[in-house]
Structure 1
Amino acid sequence: MQPLPPGPLTLAQIQDYVARMELERGFADSTTVEQALKLAEETGEVCKAVRKGASLSMDPNSTVGELGAELADVLIYLASIANREGIDLSQALRDKECVNEQRIWQ
């Protein structure tokens, strides 16, 4: 598999990379439900990394990853779910922000 190009990536590039990566690594048959559950697990790992970074008490036997790596895992699963459901994340973000711009934030 070709490595990611250097520099910033668009959401479309990320989604394309994740689709190719899943095919190559044999994950393409995972269902949306399976990927959503894995996303939830990875989100928990992000929270653990944040706890560690904030020096909050933790189970001393708990394995905690580096925050950047855990955030990358979340992004991979997010792109994976979007790909399975035919969602262009870039357009979804634009659409959601159009709605949010009409809201009153207090």
Structure 2
Amino acid sequence: MEKERGFSDSTIIEQCLKLSEETGEVCKAVRKHTALSIDPTSSTGSVGAELADVLIYVAAIANRAGVDLSDALRAKEQVNEMRVWT
């Protein structure tokens, strides 16, 4: 997907910065979804569309870092299962 769209040359740092921007867009979409005020001149996608953008950047960062997200999620959940949540 990144090759098709011309993003395959982006560095991991650039992808992290883009992820941060997309996370802000998720927050703006949630504000809109919950009827909180937002700048009426700004364009905002749906919560689902913005979350999908976040997922795309997370996958891109994982690819550059050689992380298998499925394995990482399983390993992290094993740690989380041992935690005491308050």
The unaligned stretches of length 5 or more in structure 1 are 1-20
**Matched positions, count:** 86
Name 1:90's counterpart in structure 2: 70
1:65 correspondence with 2:45: yes
Alignment RMSD: 0.9
Residue deviations 1:2-49, cap 9 Å, x none? Answer: xxxxxxxxxxxxxxxxxxx11222211100000010001011111111
Identity of matched residues, %: 71
Higher relative contact order (Cα pairs below 8 Å, separated by 6+ residues):
1
Instruction: Calculate the TM-score normalised by the size of structure 1.
Output: 0.77
CA distance in 2, matches of 1:86, 1:96: 16
Give every structure 1 segment of 4 or more consecutive aligned residues whose post-TM-superposition deviation is greater than 4 Å: none
Q: TM-score, normalised by structure 2?
A: 0.94
Alignment match of 1:39 (pick from 19, 22, 32): 19
**Cα separation, 2, equivalents of 1:83 and 1:71:** 18
The structure that is helix-richer by fraction is: 2
Deviation at 1:66, TM superposition (A): 1.4
